[in-house]
């Protein structure tokens, strides 16, 4: 056992743990969710990067001894490598503007640095506040780490979406000449190809990738150096310049200062924009998944136009039933993300005076949005989208039978004549093609040419002249 004390009194801590009294008080005060900050590895890595860069910068300006700098950097590198398992037990639901998070990291690094120097935990040489947190405040450390973490999460998501786009491009090419009846208001509309339908999905994903890349740039604008309220009190100009240079060296990222520290500390609209982008991505993913559920419905009593890969039994009572469970998983992830976006909006709205103190709930929901998408999109891609098959015969038959082919009659003759043809076809429960031949408007060969649904799918496949 070891004893630590603060202004509230003394506390005994196990000799096995690297965290200290402030972390223990947080554990006692906030036994809320069981979700600890250790569950957000990019946050922990980003905090360690900042502590490493700070040690280098403080040494360069003559504020930190070389031996202490080296020990803190070694401890930070170990943290970056994920070597402190179960040493970050602070619950993500907490008050105090993230102080518990910053102090948990400071205490772990201080104890480990002291152990490197002396062989024992404790603060005889390295102190969590005086040395590890030198020239910093929780208020500029935590939001800077959050932005770096968002950058890393975005890169993972961009990689997922890039693979997804490739899969959609493959399906677009595979289905480019397979005709189907499109639907507007869930009613028959003009023929399109399945390739065109998948081109819409692919184009949507490509746009989301571009938007994420744009937002990534904003994540490199940090508030480190602002200290508590934006004045930079406690951090020298040389230290701040060194921080951005050293952060580049340790992360490889072209980080830079925000234009206005006061703005950077008070406003959380950057996170709202990121969350909104993820929400927008979900609207398209959920629509795609919903489309697959509708188009694969049946197989007897539904549309039954496509077939999804069968991945598990769909009923405990009906043998042979297969459910679209992968699209349903994707849709539920999206529903969850919509709710998390709302929480982030409330937290950004509640920033007060010189600081937005709600970083904990913002990061919790934002990082979980990323994690859910990064986990679910590859499953959706591999176990559903990549294996979609088109039922060619039924789609061709429906495309040839739809009354929407009357558009070709309208173009060749008139809108009124086309209206009459459709009305007669509906009353006789036959096709537009059959009626125009019966009325002598077109020969069989002419009707086959003019009313071939592929000719209505694009300008490049324009209607033949008769």
Contact by Cβ (8 Å): 455, 409: no
- Alpha-carbon distance of 449 to 447, in angstroms, equals 5
- Alpha-carbon distance of 106 to 239, in angstroms, equals 19
Pairing of strands 256-257, 221-222: parallel
182 belongs to the catalytic site: no
Burial class (CB within 10 angstroms; exposed 0-12, middle 13-18, buried 19+) of 398: middle
Pairing of strands 9-13, 179-184: unpaired
The alpha carbon of residue 361 and the mean position of all alpha carbons in its chain are separated, in whole angstroms, by 17
Contact by Cβ (8 Å): 324, 302: no
The b-or-e profile of 372-396 (16+ CB within 10 A means b, else e) is bbbebbeebbebbbebbebbeeebb
**DSSP string for residues in 424-439:** HHHHHT--HHHHHHHT
Q: Which of 156, 100, 218 is nearest to 370 (CA)?
A: 156
Q: For the chain, what's the residue count?
A: 466
Q: Residue 388: helix, strand or coil by DSSP?
A: coil
Q: Residue 3: helix, strand or coil by DSSP?
A: strand
Contact by Cβ (8 Å): 257, 225: yes
- Alpha-carbon distance of 428 to 222, in angstroms, equals 71
The alpha carbon of residue 217 and the mean position of all alpha carbons in its chain are separated, in whole angstroms, by 16
From the candidates 15, 33, 67, 315, give the one annotated as an active-site residue: 315
**DSSP string for residues in 355-383:** B---HHHHHHHHHHHHHHHHHHHHHHHHH
What residues pair up with 2 in beta bridges, in sequence order?
13
- Alpha-carbon distance of 201 to 294, in angstroms, equals 16
Contact by Cβ (8 Å): 51, 144: no
Contact by Cβ (8 Å): 69, 82: no
Angle made by CA atoms 147, 165, 159, in degrees to the nearest 5: 35
Q: Residue 189: helix, strand or coil by DSSP?
A: strand
* Residues belonging to the active site: 315
């Amino acid at each position: 056992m070891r004893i630590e004390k603060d202004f509230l009194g003394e506390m005994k801590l196990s000799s096995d743990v690297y965290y200290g009294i402030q972390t223990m008080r947080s554990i006692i005060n906030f036994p809320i969710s069981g979700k600890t900050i250790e569950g957000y590895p990019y946050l922990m890595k980003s905090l360690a990067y900042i502590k490493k860069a700070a040690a280098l910068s403080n040494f360069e300006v003559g504020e930190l001894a070389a031996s202490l700098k080296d020990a803190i950097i070694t401890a930070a590198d170990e943290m970056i490598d994920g070597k402190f398992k179960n040493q970050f037990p602070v619950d993500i639901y907490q008050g105090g503007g993230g102080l518990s998070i910053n102090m948990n990291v400071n205490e772990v690094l201080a104890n480990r640095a002291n152990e490197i120097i002396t062989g024992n935990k404790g603060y005889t040489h390295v102190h969590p506040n005086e040395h590890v947190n030198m020239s910093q405040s929780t208020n500029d450390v935590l939001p800077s780490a959050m932005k770096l973490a968002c950058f890393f999460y975005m890169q993972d998501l961009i990689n997922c979406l890039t693979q997804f786009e490739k899969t959609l491009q493959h399906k677009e090419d595979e289905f480019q000449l397979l005709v189907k009846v499109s639907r507007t208001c869930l009613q028959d509309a003009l023929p399109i190809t399945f390739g065109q339908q998948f081109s819409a999905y692919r184009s949507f994903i490509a746009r989301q990738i571009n938007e994420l890349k744009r937002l990534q740039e904003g994540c490199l604008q940090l508030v480190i150096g602002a200290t508590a309220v934006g004045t930079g009190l406690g951090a020298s100009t040389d230290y701040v310049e060194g921080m951005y240079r050293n952060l580049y060296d340790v992360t490889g990222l072209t980080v830079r200062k925000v234009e206005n520290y006061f703005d950077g500390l008070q406003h959380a609209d950057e996170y709202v924009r990121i969350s909104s982008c993820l929400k927008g991505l979900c609207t398209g993913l959920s629509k795609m998944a919903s489309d697959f559920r509708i188009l694969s419905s049946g197989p007897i009593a539904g549309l039954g136009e496509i077939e999804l890969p069968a991945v598990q039994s769909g009923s405990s009572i009906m043998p042979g039933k297969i459910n679209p469970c992968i699209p349903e998983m994707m849709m539920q992830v999206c529903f969850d993300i919509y709710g998390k976006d709302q929480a982030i909006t409330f937290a950004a709205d509640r920033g007060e005076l010189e600081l937005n103190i709600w970083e904990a709930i913002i990061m919790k929901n934002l990082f979980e949005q990323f994690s859910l998408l990064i986990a679910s999109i590859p499953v959706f891609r591999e176990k559903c989208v990549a294996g979609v098959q088109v039922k060619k015969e039924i789609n061709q038959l429906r495309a040839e039978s739809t009354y929407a082919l009357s558009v070709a009659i309208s173009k060749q003759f008139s809108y009124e004549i086309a209206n009459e043809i459709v009305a007669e076809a509906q009353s006789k429960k036959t096709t537009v093609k059959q009626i125009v031949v019966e009325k002598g408007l077109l020969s069989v060969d002419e009707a086959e040419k003019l009313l071939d649904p592929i000719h209505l799918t694009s300008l490049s496949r324009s209607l033949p002249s008769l």
